């Protein structure tokens, strides 16, 4: 049984996934340092994270026998130095991730797991940028993290046993169920899901069906919980487009080339629930 009191994590990146991961950890009693680029971003992220925690409590998704963990916000990655694990949850850009992982690798103690919450970049590609590749592995949390218990864990060719065991223990302490897969572009979930979301957008763009009808058919006929286009809005259409580009560049699969309608929405700033409008209109940005 994992002891949640042994863990103190840093989450780098206070966007949709960073605040979700932080809320899940706090809700299970783990102290969290949440880091992003400026004070305004981290103050908004503090409110968002605590709102996630309250929602999780209302949904009965948190253990009743644990006090909430503390949340510390910071604009300096140096505040991650004394944590027991670091989760990178920034934009899906290999160059930006590589720069951050290089900095983190020089900062944290040997044996501290460096966890990339990438949706598709191969872990072994990122491992070229860290001092100790054995400490690096991937996780792919789903949104909302505090409600979805299963987490895809990606073991790169150079990931060590100690890092894998440490992250499995951390996820157990956070009430998550890890499923370990081998390294590949998109791993399992993104490799299957993201081309399907792109196809759904392409069908709408071609005029075959409306957004609502695509989601209704996928939900009513094929059992998709929310429909692919509502799912795309929840992921963030910019994040989806970035992930698709990563997959297309590394696999050559034309289904992964972001379709025109998806790119048009990103250019218009219609990014999904977080911006208040995507394939659907939500009235206001998601907090």
CA-based radius of gyration for the chain:
18
Q: Which of 133, 269, 124 is nearest to 182 (CA)?
A: 124
Q: What is the mean pLDDT of residues 156-170?
A: 98
Q: Within 10 Å of residue 38's Cβ, how many Cβ atoms?
A: 8
Q: What is the mean pLDDT of residues 45-65?
A: 96
Q: What is the mean pLDDT of the chain?
A: 95
* pLDDT for the residue 1: 53
The more confident residue out of 1 and 248 is 248
Query: Before 144, cis peptide (omega within 30)?
Result: yes
Name the architecture of domain 188-275: Orthogonal Bundle (1.10)
H or E segment at 72? Answer: strand 71-74
* pLDDT for the residue 272: 97
Q: What is the mean pLDDT of residues 74-100?
A: 95
Q: Are 161 and 187 in contact (CB under 8 A)?
A: no
Q: Are 208 and 200 in contact (CB under 8 A)?
A: no
For residue 4, what pLDDT band results from cuts at 50, 70 and 90? confident
The more confident residue out of 204 and 286 is 204
For residue 254, what pLDDT band results from cuts at 50, 70 and 90? very high
Q: Which of 157, 155, 10 is nearest to 74 (CA)?
A: 10
The four Cα atoms 159, 190, 105, 166 give a dihedral, to 10 degrees, of -50
Percent of the chain with pLDDT over 70: 98
Domain range 9-182, CATH class: alpha beta
Domain boundaries, the chain: 9-182, 188-275
Angle, vertex CA 241, rays to CA 96 and CA 94, nearest 5: 20
Evaluate whether 9-182 and 188-275 have a shared fold.
Answer: no
Percent of the chain with pLDDT over 90: 95
H or E segment at 85? Answer: strand 85-88
Q: Which of 124, 122, 88, 162 is nearest to 251 (CA)?
A: 122
Q: Which of 197, 152, 163 is nearest to 86 (CA)?
A: 163
For residue 283, what pLDDT band results from cuts at 50, 70 and 90? confident
Q: What is the mean pLDDT of residues 137-145?
A: 95
Above 70 in pLDDT, residue 286? no
Q: What is the mean pLDDT of residues 31-41?
A: 95
Q: What is the DSSP letter of 116?
A: E
Known binding residues for NAD(+) are: 13-18, 36, 92, 97, 119, 143, 274
Above 90 in pLDDT, residue 147? yes
List beta partners, residue 154. Answer: 138, 181
Known binding residues are: 13-18, 36, 92, 97, 119, 143, 274
């Amino acid at each position: 049984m994992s002891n949640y009191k042994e863990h103190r994590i840093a989450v780098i990146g206070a966007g949709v996934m960073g605040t979700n991961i932080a809320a899940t950890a706090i809700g299970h009693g783990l102290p969290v340092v949440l880091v992003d680029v400026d004070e305004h971003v981290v103050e908004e992220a503090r409110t968002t994270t605590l709102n996630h925690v309250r929602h999780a409590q209302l949904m009965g998704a948190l253990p009743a026998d644990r006090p909430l963990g503390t949340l510390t916000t910071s604009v300096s990655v140096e505040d991650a130095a004394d944590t027991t694990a670091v989760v990178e949850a920034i934009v899906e850009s290999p160059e930006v991730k590589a720069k951050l992982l290089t900095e983190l690798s020089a900062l944290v103690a040997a044996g501290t797991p460096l966890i990339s919450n990438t949706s598709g970049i191969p872990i072994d590609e990122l491992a070229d940028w860290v001092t100790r590749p054995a400490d690096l592995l991937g996780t792919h949390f789903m949104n909302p993290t505090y409600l979805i218990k299963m987490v895809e864990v990606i073991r790169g060719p150079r990931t060590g046993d100690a890092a894998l065991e440490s992250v499995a223990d951390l996820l157990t302490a956070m009430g998550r169920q890890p499923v370990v897969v081998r390294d590949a572009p998109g791993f399992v979930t993104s490799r299957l899901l993201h081309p399907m979301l792109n196809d759904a957008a392409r069908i709408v763009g071609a005029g075959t069906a409306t957004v609502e009808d695509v989601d209704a058919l996928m939900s009513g006929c094929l059992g998709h919980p929310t429909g692919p286009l509502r799912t795309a809005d929840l992921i963030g259409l910019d994040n989806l487009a970035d992930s698709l580009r990563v997959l297309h560049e590394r696999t050559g699969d034309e289904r992964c080339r972001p379709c025109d309608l998806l790119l048009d929405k990103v250019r218009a700033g219609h990014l999904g629930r977080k911006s208040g409008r995507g394939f659907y209109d939500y009235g206001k940005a998601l907090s």
